[in-house]
Structure formats: structure tokens, C-alpha cells
């Protein structure tokens, strides 16, 4: 792993903030937060001067939050250009923040019922992962706050939402983030493979994906009507007489089985780990999508891959059932397997959210008041969270990789020193550990208890251990310089 300062330079070195002093303040802040991630300013920075500098930077009206996000996204696109393509899962979440007296520039979170709703900001994150699943950075982010509408009844709010023009609905943030990634990756000559869950099954979002030059995989949410029209793009008018329509699932069920395959399913609180056997069906479908609640129907041709689990579902669980829309070719078994593999990367964005919000960076503990300051701070913490996710993944996917490829010499010395002090009596410490072994030692220093923890080391114990390692590494570096 790069030193915190080298990483911060590579992440935010191209920031355009109008003054080089602001850029170096941003780099210094990112380096310190990477060394000690936390959502509270006073916990993330060590000295009074750095804390005051961080407050001044975040609250400054001369520093645009969009410029900070642009710097992180452009750096990610440049790293993505070194790979044939990168997976870019996109997902939305809510950042719940403390605001009991509603004095901050926040908005309500949750559904239509406002009685027990929290306050905070809505966010959409797009994180890039290389073909092997290692995080390479934040491709783009979007933040916004919902308006307060406590003076309206639940029925009035629902009625207003239905009457709101489609271009003013919240999925406009999805289309905005897709367009920004397309522009950044085109400038860097990189290729993205967007991966979205069922939130992406909307005409405007599918149109945004189709307008980009990148691949996409979207899990279907609706059993949409399908058309027999096979033109590449057409607009038809709904007939006045009632007719029986064909629907997506019924149409796909009539297709013959294309292939059988297996994928690994990781364990979760509601899911057992297993090798899932899947039946695969494919077809090119013309989806019928209504335009602006009118009589016009868009006919959108799209490739569909349907995978359904059989014979390996544990008792009490639902079988895997993915209806996937994609623009990637499905003419060969290898291409179909790539589409299925792309969707298996979607859960990585959920792991990022855990690391960002509660596992390591604790963005939801931020105590800033202004929305613009919160956006800047959340962007810096998101970049740090992606860095932690990279180390965690490499320890699992490339366990034989030398630890020296990801840890600095001082960090490696600190790990060995601390581990020797706390090792078990029968434990042998290797001076040249692999990345998997070093990560396990770091997690041990952070309180990892092994099998009783329920799985391999996660972001929480790794972050705790890294905090101890970095303090020791700083001391070792200072002593060796004297």
C-alpha cells in the first residue's frame, strides 16, 4: 500500500480549487484521514492546527464540493485506463446524521410517514473495481437533501409525487452520475461496466446506459410487457382495444435452457455459503415502456440473461433468481458467463457502504452543519473507504501476494513488532509474510477473534489494527531518521 501522503497525492493531486494552497490542504487532510479514519473531525486529526485547517477548508465558500468529487473521479478514471475494463456498481443510500433540533442543512430520510423519520442526506455512490474485484477508487458520487414537507398529509405528499414531472424525480441523480462517469472515462480512454440492482429498471436510467459507450448489467424489477417489434429503436402508440400482452417472465420461460453453471455464494445473515447451480436462459427482447404516462410506448430492444438456482437452495431460503438486462453480447457461453459474473460484483458496493458509514470511516458521525461541508467531508471519507476495501479484498483474493507490495517498509516493521509482542506462545512470526497473513495479523491487533467472528477479517477490525500499526510506523520512521 502506498504511504498515506503518496496515496493522497494520487487521489487529489489534480484537484482544481483555484489556489494551490487549497489543493495541498486537501491532500494533507486526505493523508491524515487515511492514517486515522473517522467521521468526527476532532478524532481524525492529531493536532490543533490540522483540525482548524480542516474546518476552514470544509466551511470555505471558495472550495466547491463538486471540485473535490471531480478530482477523486478523474483519478479513478485514470487508474481504470490501465485495465481492459472495470466494474462500476452504482447504488443509493441514506446518510443518517444527528440533527435533533433541525438546525443543520439536512432533509428527511425514509418513506412517506414523517413521524419516525430520521434526518440526513441522500447519496448515490459509484465505486470502480478491477476485473479481479479489487477497489480502485470512487468513480462518482451524488448528494442531495429532500425537502421538508411536514405541513402536508401523507395522501397529499403521495399525490404531489405522482404529479411531479419525471425529469424532477430522484432518478435524475442516477442519470447525472452515469453521464459524469461516461465523460471521465472517455477522457481517460477507459471502459466501464455499470452494474445496478433493481433500482436501475427505469426507462430513463436504461436510456442513460444505452446512450453511453460502456457496458451495463441491470437486474429487472418489473415483469414488463414485451413486444414482437424487433427494430433497434421504435415508438408505437398503444391500441385503443384491449389485447392480451406478452410479458417478460412468460416469454423467457418459453426459451430453451442455454447452459448450466455454478457460482460461489458467500455467507450472510440470511444466506448460507454454497456453490449454487444455475439454469441459464438467454434471449433478445423488445421491452415496451410507457412514455410520460401518455399513450406512446417506447420499444427498447435489449439482451436478457435469466439465471435461476435449482437443487442447491438450503431449506428456508429463496433460490437465486436474476433477470438481467445488458447490452453486452451474449452470443457465446463465455460472454454469458461474463454477464453473470458482472452482477456478482454488485454486492461490493454494499460492503463499501458498510465501511464508509459504520465499519471504518463513520461518516454518519459527522457533526458538520452545512450541506456543502458535509459533501466535501463525505467525499474524502469515501476515497479512504475504497482504499480500505482494496486491502481487505487483496488479502482474500490474492493471499499469496507479498505483504510488501501493499504495506510500506515502516508499516511492515510495525506489524511485525506489534505482533511479536502479542503473539500466542506457539505462534511463529514470519519476517516476510504474505498479504493474507499480514492482514490477519493487523485484524488480530484490531480485536479479530478468528472463527468466532463469523468469517474472514472485515473492515472494522482491519481499520482498528491499521490505526495501531500506523502510529507505530510513524515512531519507527522518526527513530530511523535520527
Choose the most confident range, by mean pLDDT, from 162-166, 292-296, 381-385. 381-385
Separation of CA 404 from chain center: 27
Average pLDDT along the chain: 86
Rounded-to-integer distance, Cα 292 and Cα 299, Å: 14
Judgement on whether residues 203 and 332 belong to the same structural domain of the protein:
yes
C-alpha dihedral sign at 327, 328, 331, 334: negative
Q: Is residue 60 part of a domain?
A: yes
Record the pTM: 0.86
Q: Sorting pLDDT into bands at 50, 70 and 90, what band is 112? A: very low
Residue 465 has pLDDT above 70, yes or no: yes
Average pLDDT score over residue span 127-138: 93
CATH number, domain at 228?
3.90.350.10
Q: Could you read off the pLDDT of 256-288 as tens digits, one per residue?
A: 999 999 998 887 777 888 999 999 999 998 888
**Residue 243 pLDDT:** 46
Judgement on whether residues 161 and 239 belong to the same structural domain of the protein:
yes
**Residue 270 pLDDT:** 77
Judgement on whether residues 331 and 372 belong to the same structural domain of the protein:
no
Helix H or strand E segment including 257:
none
**What b/e sequence results for 240-249 when a residue is b if at least 16 CB atoms lie within 10 Å of its CB, and e otherwise?**
eeeeeeeebe
Average pLDDT score over residue span 409-413: 88
Q: Is residue 139 part of a domain?
A: yes
**Residue 393 pLDDT:** 84
Residue 474 has pLDDT above 60, yes or no: yes
Q: Sorting pLDDT into bands at 50, 70 and 90, what band is 73? A: very high
**Residue 453 pLDDT:** 61
- Strand 107-108 relative to strand 135-144, pairing: unpaired
Which DSSP letter does residue 293 get? T
**Residue 113 pLDDT:** 47
Average pLDDT score over residue span 436-445: 87
Rounded-to-integer distance, Cα 391 and Cα 359, Å: 14
Q: Is residue 390 part of a domain?
A: no
DSSP string, 170-181: THHHHHHHHHHH
Residue 349 has pLDDT above 50, yes or no: yes
Judgement on whether residues 298 and 413 belong to the same structural domain of the protein:
no
- Strand 296-309 relative to strand 119-129, pairing: unpaired
Average pLDDT score over residue span 70-83: 96
Separation of CA 89 from chain center: 6
Choose the most confident range, by mean pLDDT, from 56-60, 101-105, 106-110. 56-60
**Residue 422 pLDDT:** 84
Judgement on whether residues 186 and 318 belong to the same structural domain of the protein:
yes
Query: Would you put residue 142 in left (φ > 0), alpha (ψ -120 to 50) or beta?
Result: beta
CATH number, domain at 42?
1.10.246.40
DSSP-assigned beta bridge partners for residue 259: 280
Which DSSP letter does residue 168 get? G
**Residue 117 pLDDT:** 64
**Residue 227 pLDDT:** 75
Half-sphere exposure of 11 (CA within 13 A, CB side): 32
Q: Is residue 392 part of a domain?
A: no
Nearest to 381, CA basis, from 37, 22, 19, 10: 37
Domain extent at residue 258: 66-359
Helices and strands counted in the chain (H then E)? 15, 13
Number of domains in the chain: 3
Q: Could you read off the pLDDT of 230-262 as tens digits, one per residue?
A: 444 444 444 443 445 788 999 999 999 999 999
Q: Take residue 194 and report the three cell numbers written for it.
A: 455499470
Judgement on whether residues 92 and 48 belong to the same structural domain of the protein:
no
Q: Take residue 429 and report the three cell numbers written for it.
A: 512470526
Q: Is residue 290 part of a domain?
A: yes
Judgement on whether residues 151 and 223 belong to the same structural domain of the protein:
yes
Largest CA distance in the chain: 88
Rounded-to-integer distance, Cα 197 and Cα 234, Å: 26
- Strand 192-196 relative to strand 86-96, pairing: parallel
**Residue 136 pLDDT:** 94
Q: Sorting pLDDT into bands at 50, 70 and 90, what band is 36? A: confident
Residue 382 has pLDDT above 50, yes or no: yes
Residues 6+ apart with CB under 8 A from 362: 37, 38, 39, 40
Residue 66 has pLDDT above 80, yes or no: yes
Amino acid at each position: 500500500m502506498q504511504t498515506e501522503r503518496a496515496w493522497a497525492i494520487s487521489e487529489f493531486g489534480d484537484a482544481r480549487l483555484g489556489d494551490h494552497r487549497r489543493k495541498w490542504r486537501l491532500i494533507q487532510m486526505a493523508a491524515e484521514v487515511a492514517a486515522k479514519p473517522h467521521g468526527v473531525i476532532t478524532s481524525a486529526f492529531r493536532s490543533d492546527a490540522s483540525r482548524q485547517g480542516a474546518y476552514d477548508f470544509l466551511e470555505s465558500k471558495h472550495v466547491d464540493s463538486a471540485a473535490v468529487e471531480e478530482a477523486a473521479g478523474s483519478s479513478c478514471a485514470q487508474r481504470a485506463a490501465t485495465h481492459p475494463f472495470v466494474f462500476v456498481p452504482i447504488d443509493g443510500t441514506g446518510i443518517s446524521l444527528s440533527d435533533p433540533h433541525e438546525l443543520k442543512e439536512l432533509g428527511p430520510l425514509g418513506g412517506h410517514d414523517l413521524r419516525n423519520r430520521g434526518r440526513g442526506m441522500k447519496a448515490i455512490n459509484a465505486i470502480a473495481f478491477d476485473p479481479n474485484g479489487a477497489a480502485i477508487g470512487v468513480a462518482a458520487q451524488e448528494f442531495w437533501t429532500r425537502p421538508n414537507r411536514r405541513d402536508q398529509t401523507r395522501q397529499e405528499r403521495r399525490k404531489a409525487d405522482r404529479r411531479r414531472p419525471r425529469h424532477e424525480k430522484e432518478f435524475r441523480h442516477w442519470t447525472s452520475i452515469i453521464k459524469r462517469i461516461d465523460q471521465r472515462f472517455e477522457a481517460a480512454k477507459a471502459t466501464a461496466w455499470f452494474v445496478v440492482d433493481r433500482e436501475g429498471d427505469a426507462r430513463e436510467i436504461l436510456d442513460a446506459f444505452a446512450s453511453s459507450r460502456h457496458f451495463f448489467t441491470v437486474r429487472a424489477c418489473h415483469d414488463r410487457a414485451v413486444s414482437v417489434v424487433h427494430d433497434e429503436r421504435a415508438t408505437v402508440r398503444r391500441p385503443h382495444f384491449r389485447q392480451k400482452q406478452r410479458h417478460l417472465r412468460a416469454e423467457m420461460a418459453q426459451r430453451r435452457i442455454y447452459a448450466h453453471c455454478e457460482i460461489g455464494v458467500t455467507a450472510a445473515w440470511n444466506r448460507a455459503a454454497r456453490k449454487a447451480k444455475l439454469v441459464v436462459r438467454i434471449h433478445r427482447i423488445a421491452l415496451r415502456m410507457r412514455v410520460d404516462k401518455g399513450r406512446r410506448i417506447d420499444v427498447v430492444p435489449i439482451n436478457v440473461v435469466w439465471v435461476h438456482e435449482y437443487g442447491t437452495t438450503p431449506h428456508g431460503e429463496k433460490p437465486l433468481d436474476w433477470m438481467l438486462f445488458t447490452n453486452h453480447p451474449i452470443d457465446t457461453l463465455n460472454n454469458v458467463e461474463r454477464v453473470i459474473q458482472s452482477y456478482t460484483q454488485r454486492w461490493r458496493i454494499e460492503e463499501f457502504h458498510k465501511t464508509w458509514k459504520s465499519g471504518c470511516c463513520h461518516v454518519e458521525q459527522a457533526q458538520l452543519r452545512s450541506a456543502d461541508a458535509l459533501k466535501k467531508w463525505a467525499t474524502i471519507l469515501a476515497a479512504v473507504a475504497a482504499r480500505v476495501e482494496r486491502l481487505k479484498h487483496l488479502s482474500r483474493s490474492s493471499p499469496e501476494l507479498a505483504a510488501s507490495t501493499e504495506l510500506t517498509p515502516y508499516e511492515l516493521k510495525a506489524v511485525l513488532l506489534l505482533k511479536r509482542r502479542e503473539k500466542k506462545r506457539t505462534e511463529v512470526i514470519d519476517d516476510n509474510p504474505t498479504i493474507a497473513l499480514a492482514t490477519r495479523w493487523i485484524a488480530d491487533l484490531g480485536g479479530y477473534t478468528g472463527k468466532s467472528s463469523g468469517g474472514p477479517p472485515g473492515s472494522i477490525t482491519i481499520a482498528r489494527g491499521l490505526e495501531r500499526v500506523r502510529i507505530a510506523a510513524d515512531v519507527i520512521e522518526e527513530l530511523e531518521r535520527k
